[in-house]
Amino acid sequence: MISSSRNPKIQWVHALQTRPRQRLQDQAFVIEGVRLVEEAFRSHWKTKWVLYTTELDQRGRKLLAEFEHNHVPVEEVTPQIMRHICDTQTPQGILAVMNQKCLPLDPGIDFVFIPDEIRDPGNLGTMLRTAFAAGCNAVFVPKGSVDIYSPKVIRSAMGAHFHLPILALSWQEIEIIIKKHGLHVFLADSNAGVQYAQADFRQPLALIIGSEAEGAGDYAQKLAHEHLFIPMPGAAESLNAAIAAGILLFMIVQQRTSTS
């Protein structure tokens, strides 16, 4: 049992949780809780290490046995150490260190989501979860947004990382992909363009959502073929970016699944 916060492995996990540079350098990230660790296991995601405490429930212990059967290192830590390395206030007794990897892009992508300059990790994670639920082929995250592997992004995305290609790319790389696949670029705007319900979403497309504070950046504006807005009859200045993404993504789904 590991009981010291000075243990090199524990220090490494703590660094992965708190330092984006460490995650990038080691190409690793941390997940917490039975459900998320279970999702990673079912997705056959490469797992470096699993930690647990005696507080782990029966479902979690069955999961530990599966990891051990697959020759993944599993070690017990004290509850105090688990609280020290977890980002959540009430850990469930299990944590895993995962390899970063990019899932392959479908050669026929026609539905891409691009969150631009989203700095709130909860918002970005919710957007990733929504994009996965809406059936997006991929999410491209340009520089300026929060790290896609930060702990709160991982939790809020609820397993989207294990099923959906989520790529941190430069705008130049994004532009190349957009042109290669002939994607029509829609950009959400607070008060300009086409009313979202009147847009044609049946064509191959990319949807860009910027932050509610500043909107999308200059490069996103340059790439946009068409602007969209969501009518707001109330007096609010703007919608939360994740809420706006949900409205627009599922309008796209509605159009594409409609039989009329």
Query: Per-residue pLDDT tens for 136-188?
Result: 999 999 999 999 999 999 999 999 999 999 999 999 999 999 999 999 999 99
**Count of alpha carbons within 13 angstroms of residue 39, beta-carbon side:** 15
pTM: 0.95
Same CATH topology for 8-99 and 111-257? no
Beta pairing partners, 77? 2
Counting Cβ atoms within 10 Å, is residue 180 exposed (0-12), middle (13-18) or buried (19+)?
Answer: exposed
User: Given pLDDT bands bounded at 50, 70 and 90, which one contains residue 260?
Assistant: low
- What is the per-residue pLDDT for 236? 79
Q: Which CATH number fits domain 111-257: 3.30.930.10, 3.40.50.620, 3.40.1280.10, 3.50.50.60?
A: 3.40.1280.10
Longest dimension (CA), the chain: 63
User: Given pLDDT bands bounded at 50, 70 and 90, which one contains residue 213?
Assistant: confident
CATH superfamily of 8-99: Ribosomal protein L30/S12 (3.30.1330.30)
- What is the per-residue pLDDT for 237? 78
Contact criterion met (CB below 8 Å) for 249 and 136 = yes
Domain ranges of the chain: 8-99, 111-257
224-238: per-residue pLDDT in tens? 999 999 999 887 778
Q: What angle do CA 4, 91, 57 make, to 5 degrees?
A: 105
User: Given pLDDT bands bounded at 50, 70 and 90, which one contains residue 191?
Assistant: confident
